[in-house]
Amino acid sequence: MFDRGMTVSFHSLNCPPIVGSNVNMNKTYYRARRFNQSIALQRSSVPVQSDEAGKSNESKKISNPLLTQSNTVGIIGGVSVFSTLVFLEKLVWWSSRHGEECIPFVVCSDPAISRGELPFCGSFPSVNGKAARIRLNPGMIVENLRQKRAFLEQSGAGCIVMPCHTSHGWLSEVSKGCSVPFLNTGDCVAKELVKAKLKPIEAGSNVRIGVLASDAASVASFYQENLQNQGFEVVLSDRATVEHIVIPAIEAINRKDMEGARNLLRIAIQVLLVRAVNYVILASDEFQGLLPTDDPLLKRCIDPMDALARFTIKWAQSTEKGTEADFKRA
């Protein structure tokens, strides 16, 4: 179910559905609890060691890591615990669907950001179930995410992933100095689109990819950079669409007005499709599982976390087999 867009769009990827039809019910349940529990995910209590100058020694490995498999994946939990759980389910299902053992992974999830506990500074869309907009201090968020990354490195992770659209706005800062590969979701999506060998809808133009996000300044621009590097023309939602359609859709979700949110999301997708885009990237955790699986618009939509899950599995399997070179060429 959760691989809806990519499964329909790229049949050769052959990724089966994940769960049944009560996605939105479960989503509402997790929102109702305001993500105040880790739900079997582990919150890091390991402090990051600092030198005399106050700089974090984040890449230093401990002698006895939690996991010793070389293909262990470290997962930095997202702002939405629900989205983290969805990503984990994809990893488990897709990596073991042919009878293999699930790839080893360790998760660090901390609800501090989603509860708005970090110091305020600058604007950001609400992600914790409140209709009002919250303001978060980017510096504190980056430090929080870097501490999670350090914990995962110390726990024996050989690769780090961050399945959260919001957190990817600070990917370059969080991944700086990482001692192991740190997968880039935007790069994973762009590579899969290149392999799909798409044709432009309008003659004489480049292949256009739409990006639908509530935060064009960071999240949408992150995908824009990766797609443009692969030769795609990127179309972002204009300011009016974000302010009058996208953000109201998220606010409707927070009010549990799911039908209203679906209708607004459909309008936002159509606004991009009329601009001759081949596909629309749904770059918001809030949009996961919002549209029903039989909605025709999903054939034109992509969930970037599907691509991240597939590349994560490829890395783990190639590392286990000692064929990392094949992964790098993927």
Helix axes 247-254, 258-273, angle to 10 degrees: 160
Residue where the block lists tokens 């159509």:
270
pLDDT confidence of 48, banded at 50, 70, 90? very low
Q: Is 27 helix (H, G, I), strand (E, B) or coil?
A: helix
Question: pLDDT for 156-199, tens place per residue?
Answer: 999 999 999 888 888 999 999 999 999 999 999 999 999 999 99
Long-range contacts of 310-313 (CB under 8 A, 24+ apart): 310/13, 310/15, 310/94, 310/188, 310/192, 311/183, 311/188, 311/191, 312/73, 312/91, 312/103, 312/159, 312/161, 312/183, 313/91, 313/94, 313/95, 313/103
Beta bridge partners of 210: 235, 280
Q: Is 56 helix (H, G, I), strand (E, B) or coil?
A: strand
For 1, the token pair is 């179910």
Report the half-sphere exposure of 267 (CA within 13 A, side-chain side): 16
Mean pLDDT for 80-97 is: 91
The predicted pLDDT at position 2 comes to 37
Name every residue whose Cβ is closer than 8 Å to that of residue 283 and which is 6 or more positions away in sequence.
165, 211, 212, 213, 219, 220, 223, 304
**Percentage of the chain modeled with pLDDT above 70:** 69
Q: Out of 86-95, 103-112, 182-191, 264-273, which region has the weakest mean confidence (pLDDT)?
A: 103-112
| pTM attached to this predicted model | 0.76
- In what order do the strands lie in the sheet containing 233-236? 233-236, 208-212, 279-282, 301-302
The predicted pLDDT at position 92 comes to 95
Question: In terms of DSSP H, where are the helices of 22-137?
Answer: 23-32, 81-96
Angle at 279 between CA 274 and CA 281, to 5 degrees: 110
Q: CA 46 → CA 49, 69, 90, 292, distances in Å?
A: 9, 21, 27, 41
Name every residue whose Cβ is closer than 8 Å to that of residue 287 and which is 6 or more positions away in sequence.
212, 265
Total residues found in the chain within this entry:
330
Beta bridge partners of 159: 73
- Residue of higher predicted confidence among 84 and 47: 84
Q: Is 234 helix (H, G, I), strand (E, B) or coil?
A: strand
74 has a pLDDT exceeding 80: yes
Q: Chain-wide mean pLDDT for the chain?
A: 77
- C-alpha–C-alpha distance, residues 224 and 237, integer Å: 12
- C-alpha–C-alpha distance, residues 216 and 238, integer Å: 9
The predicted pLDDT at position 109 comes to 87
